[in-house]
Copies of this chain bind each other. A is one copy, B any other.
Amino acid sequence: MVANAHASHSTSSPYRRFLDPLKGKELTPPPIWLMRQAGRYLPEYRATREQAGGFLDLCYSPRLAAEVTLQPIRRYGFDAAILFADILIVPDALGQSVRFEVGEGPRLDPITTEKELARLRPDATGKKFAIICETVQRLRQDLPAETALIGFCGAPWTVATYMVGGQGSTDQADARSWAYRDPDGFQKLIDMLVEVSVDYLSGQVKAGADALQIFDSWAGSLPDNEFARWVIDPTRAMVEALKARHPEIPIIGFPRGAGASTAEFVTATGVDGVSCDTAMPLCAMRELAELDVAVQGNLDPLLLVAGGEALDRRVDEILAAMKGRRHIFNLGHGITPPTPPENVARLVERVRGGAG
């Protein structure tokens, strides 16, 4: 039995400390990674980006996408890498053409009726998903053994807001209006997204992802009953389907802006980790950590731009508040392009040194 256990351990993944809080174990210092850690604030990213052509070309080049994923690991030795891709890979793979124009956000031909929905091809996503999974495979080979690899996708609600609105918006009015006007039709879009997103994430796990994160960036605009239907229910359905296929895979939810509904999100979806935005008070993060879940977040990305002693003080506050809890150090939102790379180094050192 001991030999078997040892053998089983030695053929499975090596120890990756990032996974401990997700699997029930508190770590000091906490693991650290940063949302959008591969990005424009790094000169080496900008150089690779120029080679790629368009933004989607970068996502669909396993070689270049793996390269930009690795760049921040080389610089900072984060405990986790996150696959470089975009949440709009899913609508693109479904056949809704996605464009990224320079200086603007993404643009899609909006889908606002069941008829337009019928043109999407959930059965034809395999080819594009396979390219992304090739990036995951490369990464698992090229990453240091101790670095966890996070796969991800957008949550059905957030992806739907782009598919229906045709672009990002501050209030997601188009998707919310369709959901009010014709909830059964909108449900078909959400169901389709649940199904293909589960396949997509399952493919990432098979290709080597150690954990998954579901980004629901626009969860904060919905009243509680709509939040239950369009955020909680689809996320729970995804978690259940993924756990059925991959019982050991930890899943992190990020219902950005969910505020006072976050505890309900955690208990109802069954996620192993929850990511908190900048507005979540530290006392509420401590309470979330009582819910048998790892808690990640919520340093303000703008404070990482400012740096200095104010950054140090806030890092210490977050560490103190989450001490003894299942904590993963992260930002409340993605790194912004003006961030000085040396501030990221200072942050990593502070988090790791603060434990000593």
Find out whether the CB atom of A177 lies under 8 angstroms from the CB atom of B306.
yes
Q: Is A221 an interface residue (CB 8 A)?
A: yes
Oligomeric state, in copies: 2
Which residues in B have their C-beta under 8 angstroms from that of A221? 278-279
Q: Is A180 an interface residue (CB 8 A)?
A: yes
With A259-B257, A300-B176 known as contacts, the answer to whether A223 contacts B170 (CB < 8 A) is no
A321 to B195 alpha-carbon distance, docked (Å): 35
Q: Which of A264, A279, A283 lies at the interface centre, i.e. has the most chain B CB atoms within 10 A of its CB?
A: A279
Q: Is A222 an interface residue (CB 8 A)?
A: yes
Which residues in B have their C-beta under 8 angstroms from that of A299? 223
Which residues in B have their C-beta under 8 angstroms from that of A158? none
Which residues in B have their C-beta under 8 angstroms from that of A131? none
Find out whether the CB atom of B257 lies under 8 angstroms from the CB atom of A223.
no
A225 to B278 alpha-carbon distance, docked (Å): 11
Q: Which residue of B lies closest to A317 (CB)?
A: B225
With A225-B317, A281-B264, A317-B225 known as contacts, the answer to whether A257 contacts B220 (CB < 8 A) is yes
List 14 additional contacts besides A177-B306, A227-B281, A260-B260; criterion CB under 8 Å. A176-B302, A180-B302, A222-B279, A223-B299, A223-B300, A223-B303, A223-B332, A257-B257, A258-B279, A260-B262, A260-B281, A261-B281, A261-B284, A264-B281
